[in-house]
Structure 1
Amino acid sequence: MMYEVLGPLRVLDGEDSFTISARKVQTVLAALVVRCDQVVAPGQLITEIWGDVPPRRATAGLHVYISQVRKLLNRPGRTANPLLTRVSGYQLRTDDDEIDFRLFLGAVERGRALMRERRDEEAMACLEGALDLWRGPVLGDLRSGPIIEGFVTWMTELRLECLELLADVHLRLGRHREVIGRLQLLVGENPLCEAYYRQLMLALYRSGRQAEALGVYQSARSLLMEELGLEPCRALRDLQQAILTADEGLDLRAAS
């Protein structure tokens, strides 16, 4: 079975797939998937479902939702249900099952390792494969308590890091023209992320568009001053100075 959370929550069982329309049942399963192979206390699940003001019969309600999740996961051919009741809570055992976010984490880590070894073509394929696992925002529009909210934040940040690594690989491979459009989108979607400005400036400069690269710096500086009252980071300031002086260290051969 495959659990997918890098997009709306979905479970795949062979050629069959199913989603859950009941919001509270969906919340319970999502929290258990996020904490796969760990025991989740009933109180934590109650907070995920109802927040800080649960109803009087919250425990009884939770038992109903756990029963519904267990019924959903009772798939043909399985010798045991993966949702277990423990002394201190509930545990979703994955065993041979797969979860897309764990595949994503593994692919990103392999991509980093390959970059350290300067195996950039392989790193690029690995990072692109990691991003291909995403079907939309983490868990769709499901937002709940600290377990799910923390997971959504973590995965969203890691996806941005993966995109940054991939852009670095493109730049190291001399694909600066190819990456400009993607970086312009990333800058627009993440206007306070200085790493994307740095990459976009370098891509533009290496594409013979020095004036545009310097314009990106000025746009970044204006926005950061307006929003945060801060000058750009040292890396951006140093890159601007290097572009102004046509520093040979910015050329692709020197960078390699």
Structure 2
Amino acid sequence: MRFRLLGPLEAENDEGLVEFGGIRQRAALAYLLLHSNQVVSTNQLLGALWVGGDAPTTARKILQNAIWRLRGAIAGPTSDSPAPRLLTRSPGYTVQVQAEQLDLLTFQQRVAAGRAALAGGDPQTARVLLSGALSLWRGPVLADLVEEGICWPEATALQNKRVDVMEDRFDAELACGGHQSILHDLKALVAAEPLRERASRQLMLALYRCGRQAEALSVYGRVREELVGGLGLPPA
């Protein structure tokens, strides 16, 4: 069984994609996978499934039924060894998975290795690893659940981490002389995140190296205006 969180929630076994039923069941699985290999308390899980404290009196029973159905789905045909497991562990539940069975864990491994390579002066290896990490993303974290009104701080933190990794990858590409190849992506990121100084500096450097000094100065002027107007601070 392989799980994917970096985009719409998906799970796949040896027979193809697995269906997990209604919103509570899918949300319970997603939240446990966000905290994979950790015990999530029943109260914490209930709070994630019914945001705002509007859980019905039958909430615990609904959760128990969802867990029971999830166990049956996860136990489907798979060649993985060891197979993922959904276990009851006081004071709640845990999903045990290997790194290769969950895109989030694979992403984190590749990012750690890529950053280590970058810090060690090997930008060529770093850009391969960081590009590989970013290639796992199929859209916003748990996009299908977000569409149904579920939004957790853990998902927001992951979205922010993705941008941090994009900037790491840009550093690696710039160190390898790849300023031309990342120009489009840099422009898109700075347009979407105008207050990120690091990305703006990377864009200015890429533009300068491409011989587009006037555009680089224009970016600096716009960033300065954004920072002074929005935060009352000039760019560092």
Question: TM-score, length-normalised on structure 2?
Answer: 0.90
Shift in alpha-carbon separation, 1:61–1:116, aligned structure 2, 3 A: same
Pair 29,85 (structure 1): closer, same or farther in 2 beyond 3 Å? same
Q: Secondary structure at the match of 2:36?
A: coil
| Residue 189 of structure 2 corresponds to residue 192 of structure 1 | no
Q: Which runs of 5+ in 2 are unaligned?
A: none
The 5 Å alignment of 1:25-174 reads 25-51=25-51, 52-76=53-77, 82-94=85-97, 98-143=101-146, 149-174=152-177
C-alpha distance in 2 between matches for 1:80 and 1:110: 25
Residues 134-163 of structure 1: CA distance to partner in whole angstroms, max 9, x if unpaired? 11111114249xx96122122112111111
Residue 107 of structure 1 and its aligned partner are, at CA, apart by 0.5
CA contact (8 A) 1:70 1:81 kept: no
Partners in 2 of 1:71 and 1:28 — Cα distance?
Answer: 14
Contact 1:34–1:148 under 8 Å retained in 2: no
User: 1:178 corresponds to which residue?
Assistant: 181
What is the identity, as a one-letter code, of the residue corresponding to 2:17?
Answer: S
Closer, same or farther in 2 for the Cα pair 1:81/1:211, shift >3 Å?
Answer: closer
Letter in 2 for 1:153: T
Q: Tell me if the contact between 2:83 and 2:97 (Cα under 8 Å) persists in the aligned partners.
A: no
Question: Any idea what the Cα deviations from partners look like across 1:6-64, whole Å, max 9, x if unmatched?
Answer: 01111121351224351111110011111112111111111111121211111111111
After superposition, the CA RMSD in angstroms is 2.2
Residue 230 of structure 1 aligns to a residue whose secondary structure is coil
Q: Specify the alignment match of 1:248 in structure 2.
A: none
Partner Cα separation in structure 2 for residue 83 and residue 26 of structure 1: 14
Cα distance in 2, alignment partners of residues 92 and 20 from structure 1:
15
Unaligned runs of 5+ in 1: 235-256
Give the Å deviation of 1:96. 7.7
Contact kept, 8 Å, 1:6 with 1:101, in 2: the verdict is yes
Instruction: State how far apart, in whole Å, the 2-side matches of 1:168 and 1:80 are.
Output: 38
Q: Secondary structure at the match of 1:208?
A: coil
Q: 1:203 aligned to 200, 206, 215, which one?
A: 206
Q: Is the 8 A contact 1:30 1:148 kept in 2?
A: no
C-alpha contact 2:141 2:155 (8 A) present in aligned 1: yes
The Cα of 1:179 is off from its aligned counterpart by 1.8
Q: TM-score, normalised by structure 1?
A: 0.83
Do the aligned residues in 2 keep the contact of 1:36 with 1:94 (CA within 8 Å)? Answer: yes
Query: Which of these two proteins has the greater Rg computed from alpha carbons?
Result: 1
Bigger mean CA offset, 130-139 vs 147-156: 147-156
Q: Does 1:219 pair with 2:194?
A: no
Q: Is the contact between residue 183 and residue 199 of structure 1 (CA under 8 Å) also seen in structure 2?
A: yes
In 1, Cα distance between equivalents of 2:100 and 2:199: 36
The equivalent of 1:16 in structure 2 is 16
Contact 2:14 2:77 in 1 (8 A): no
